[in-house]
Homo-oligomer: A and B are copies of this chain.
């Protein structure tokens, strides 16, 4: 008892133990209670704690035929180098369910590489959900670079910036970008990018081997607006100019062409990587994002996509 660090640690240890006995060893909660000398209710609490703390990871090792089919058609039709489709749960309103898990797996696959890679990371709710699924690992050989600013309009750390969450789970060198997402003027953007702290990050970003990012819609409740990065007026202007989506703050029209002027001339994020071998994977699903995703794949802003069955089917039909 003396060597234990603190209460939380002990509790998580016990939870892990209970979770192991339940999920791996196949004990019932009654059996666990007996083995651990606690009541059944406590055993139940521990198991559920292990789940809610994310200690328990469930994976399904089966290429569900329809998903596979859709993925391969997506790859072909939109000239993608990577596509993954997860089943749609019609009843769930989650905008990340499934996509986040698969995204995390794909990230982990890259991070497991013994060779040093540069992984670039965007931002957004979906990506954040994916990061939460990442299992801790040590990979000091890799560099993880943020493509977009970590500063919210009010000066605080942006909630949906994920580079710091990654750094918690993955022991790799990480490069955040201490910038706002959108500067107040083109001049300020240039000034910010000229900073000695920023330039190496931008250079690193341009050389990324693989990039994971989210896609935002430009509807009336666009994340860019909800999070306060653009004003309502600016959003209206983007919509009027034909904008249907944004990546890293860069807005584009339904053909995937970047909009000229407007907020785009003040976006402080790095450009979307597009070098020859660089893999740019977007994580996105949902009816609301469909036009944005369609535009992004049409305009080859991305060359990889993780989405769900319904979205994939809709993309193929359009």
Contact of A3 with B109 in the complex, beta carbons under 8 Å: no
A20 at the interface (CB under 8 A from B): yes
A17 at the interface (CB under 8 A from B): yes
Chain B residues lying within 8 Å of A278, measured Cβ to Cβ, are none
Given A87-B21, A133-B2: A60 and B68 within 8 A (CB)?
no
**Distance in Å from the Cβ of A55 to the closest Cβ of chain B?**
5
Give the size of the chain A interface in residues (CB under 8 angstroms): 53
A194 at the interface (CB under 8 A from B): no
**Distance in Å from the Cβ of A157 to the closest Cβ of chain B?**
25
Identify which of B2, B16, B90, B97 contacts A64 (C-beta below 8 A).
B16
Which residues from 34 to 86 on chain A have a C-beta closer than 8 Å to any C-beta of chain B? 35, 37, 50, 54-66, 68-69, 72, 86
Chain B residues lying within 8 Å of A21, measured Cβ to Cβ, are 68, 87, 89
Which residues from 224 to 263 on chain A have a C-beta closer than 8 Å to any C-beta of chain B? none
A96-122 CB mask vs B (1 if < 8 Å, else 0) is 011001001100010000000000000
**Distance in Å from the Cβ of A127 to the closest Cβ of chain B?**
16
Q: Name the residue on B nearest A109 (C-beta).
A: B37
Contact of B64 with A20 in the complex, beta carbons under 8 Å: yes
Identify which of B3, B27, B61, B104 contacts A55 (C-beta below 8 A).
B61
Q: Name the residue on B nearest A53 (C-beta).
A: B62
Identify which of B24, B62, B109 contacts A12 (C-beta below 8 A).
B62
A19 at the interface (CB under 8 A from B): yes
Contact of A16 with B89 in the complex, beta carbons under 8 Å: no
Chain B residues lying within 8 Å of A135, measured Cβ to Cβ, are 1, 59, 61
A265 at the interface (CB under 8 A from B): no
A109 to B37 CA separation, bound complex (whole angstroms): 8
A92 at the interface (CB under 8 A from B): yes
A9 at the interface (CB under 8 A from B): yes
20 contacts between A and B (CB under 8 A): A1-B101, A1-B104, A1-B135, A3-B65, A3-B98, A4-B65, A12-B62, A13-B65, A16-B60, A16-B63, A17-B68, A19-B62, A20-B98, A21-B68, A24-B60, A24-B97, A27-B91, A35-B89, A57-B58, A58-B58
Across the A-B interface, give the 9 residue pairs with the lowest CB-CB distance, nearest first: A16-B62, A16-B64, A25-B89, A23-B58, A57-B59, A55-B62, A20-B68, A13-B65, A61-B135
